[in-house]
Structure 1
Amino acid sequence: MKKNSTLKSESKSLVGVLTGDITNSQSFGNGDFDNILAALREQLSNYATRYSGDFDVYRGDAFQLVVRQPQHCMQIAIRLRLALKAYSPSVDVRISVAVGEAQFRPSEVKTGTGEAFVLSGRGLDSIKPHYIAFYSSDKTLENQTQLLTRFADAHISGLTQTQSQTLLAYIEAEDKSHESVADILDKNRSNVSRILNASNYKLVAEYLRYMEQELVLWQQEYEQVGTDKFNKEG
C-alpha cells in the first residue's frame, strides 16, 4: 500500500528497513483490531513522510517501512513501539530493523530487494523472544550495538501504558523540559517527572542518540570507502 511516492522507482541506496508485526493480533475483536491497524498506518505514514520513505501493511498484521534517512531508524522503531503500547487498547509489536543497500519500487515496498530487506526480513523470523532487533550489512556496527539494543528492548517491554505515553511525549517534544511535556499531556508536572524517572527516560534518550551517531558515522564511512566494506563477514 503506497503512502509516499518521493522515492524513485527501482532506486538503490543506503536505507533503513523496519519489518514488523502486531503481537497477539488474534486476541482483539474486529473493532479494536481495525482501530489498531488505523493507528499503525497513521504512525507509518507520519514516519514515511518525515524521513523520505514508504511502507506496506500486509497479511493483516504485518508491516514494512523503508526510509532514506537510516540514521533515524532506531528512533522510529522505539517511537512506533511506544505509540502502540500507549494506545488504547494497548498492543505491542515486534520490529526487526536493518540498514544497508536496497532496491525497491515505492508502490511495492514488501517486494524490495537488497541486503537491508534480507536482513530485516530474516531478523523478524528469528526475533522471538525479543521485540526489537538491529542488523547491519556492516557486521562491526551490528556487533557493537546488538547488546545495547537488547537492553533497550527489555526496558521498553517493561513499561506500562502510561509510562509509554509519557516517554513518547518526551522523546517527540522539541522542548524537553518536564513542564513542557506536562503541558503536552495536560498532566501535573510533578506527576510527569515521577513517571519519566520511573521510565529511565535519560537512558532511553542516550541510547537513541548513540544509535543515531553510530549510523551517521556508518553512512559517512560508506560514502568514503564504497560498498566493499559492507560485503565482508565481520
Structure 2
Amino acid sequence: MNKMVAIITGDIVSSRTLKPAVWLKHLKEGLQMFGNSPLNWELYRGDSFQLKTTAEDALLHAVLLKTWIKQLKEIDVRLSIGIGEQTFEGTKITEGNGTAFELSGEGFDALDKKNLTINTANKSLNDTFRVMTDLALLIMDKWTDKSAEIIFLKLKNPELNQTQIAEKLNKKQSTISEALKRGGFDEIDQFINYYNQTMKQYVATSS
C-alpha cells in the first residue's frame, strides 16, 4: 500500500489589493518552511499553490501558513487539506496523483466562501472535521496582522513562553497574553492536537 500523505491546495484571497511582487514573495517564504519547490510545493495559476506534507502535521502546517499569510494586512488564504495515498510522484508536486490529490482538489473546488476544509476517505471523520473547522474559522478569519504574527511565533516555537515572545517582538508581555487569548490560541492549539492524534490513528488503521 502507498504511504498516506497530505496535499494542501490553496490560493490567496483578495490578492488584487496588493502588488503581486509583495504577496508573492511573502507566500514563497511561507511555503519554504515546509520544503523545496517544486517537489514539496509549487505555485500555479498565479495565486494558487499545492503543498505536500505529512498527514499528521497537515493542520498545523495549514494554520502556520495562514498565520504567516495574514501578517500582510490585505490578504488571507483558502486551504483544502486532502488526506490519502500518493500513487505517483513526479519531479514536481503538481505531477503527482492519488487519492490525496483528488480529495484536496475536490475539497478546494467545493470551498466556496469558506477558507479551510479537511477531507479523508472517511465520511464520519470528515463531518467531525467540518464542524471543528467551521468553529475554528470564526476565530482564525478575524486574526489581525499583529495577532497573526504572535500566534505564528507561538505555534512555530511552542517552547517559548510569553515573556520570551515579547522580547523577540519587542512588545509587552501583557500584549502577547491578550493577543493569544483574543486570538483563541489555546482553542486552536487543542484542535491541532486533536487532529494530530486522530490522524495518527487514521493512518495506522488505514495502512
Q: What's the TM-score, normalizing by structure 1?
A: 0.82
The answer to whether the Cα contact below 8 Å between 2:14 and 2:74 also exists between their aligned partners in 1 is no
Q: Does structure 1 residue 23 correspond to structure 2 residue 13?
A: yes
Structure 1 CA distance for aligned equivalents of residues 137 and 172 of structure 2: 28
One-letter amino acid of the structure 1 residue matched with residue 172 of structure 2: N
Match for 2:51: what amino acid? L
Query: 2-side partners of 1:104 and 1:186: how far apart?
Result: 47
Kindly tell me: are residues 90 and 165 of structure 1, through their superposed partners in 2, closer, same or farther at Cα, counting changes over 3 Å?
farther
Alignment partner for residue 56 of structure 2, among 37, 50, 71? Answer: 71
1:112-151 correspondence to structure 2 within 5 Å: 112-151=96-135
Distance in 2 between residues matched to 1:163 and 1:174, nearest whole Å: 16
Does 2:36 match 1:46? Answer: no
| Partner SS state of residue 113, structure 1 | coil
Q: Which runs of 5+ in 1 are unaligned?
A: 1-10, 224-234
* CA displacement, residues 38-81 of structure 1 (integer Å, 9 cap, x when unaligned): 221122121126xxx711101110000112x2100011111101
**What number of residue pairs does the alignment pair up?**
205
Q: Please give the residue correspondences for 1:1-234 in structure 2 after superposition, counting only pairs within 5 Å.
A: 12-29=2-19, 33-48=20-35, 54-67=40-53, 69-87=54-72, 89-223=73-207
Verify the 8 A CA contact 1:116 1:137 in the aligned structure 2.
Answer: no
Cα distance 1:106–1:152, how it changes in 2: closer, same or farther (>3 A)? farther
State whether residues 82 and 165 of structure 1, in contact with CA within 8 Å, keep that contact through their aligned partners in structure 2. yes
| Cα root mean square deviation, aligned | 1.7
Q: Which amino acid aligns with 1:57?
A: L
Displacement, 1:19? 0.1
State the distance in 2 between where 1:104 and 1:56 align: 16
Distance 1:110 1:102 in 2: 12
TM-score relative to the length of structure 2: 0.92
In structure 2, C-alpha distance between the alignment counterparts of 1:128 and 1:159, rounded to whole Å: 20
- Label 1:104 to 1:56 Cα distance change in 2 as closer, same or farther (>3 A): farther
**1:185 counterpart letter in structure 2:** L
Q: Which residue of 2 aligns with 1:7?
A: none
* CA offsets 1:85-140 (integer angstroms, 9 cap, x no match): 013x5410101011011233342211321111111111111102110111012223
Bigger CA radius of gyration: 1
Q: Match of 1:71, SS? A: coil
- CA deviation string 1:10-48 (max 9, x = no partner): x9421000000111222323xxx2121122112212112
Query: Aligned partners of 1:201, 1:25: CA distance in 2, in Å?
Result: 26
Compared CA separation, residues 111 and 183, structure 1 to 2 (3 A): same
Q: Tell me if structure 2 keeps the 8 A contact 1:54–1:106.
A: no
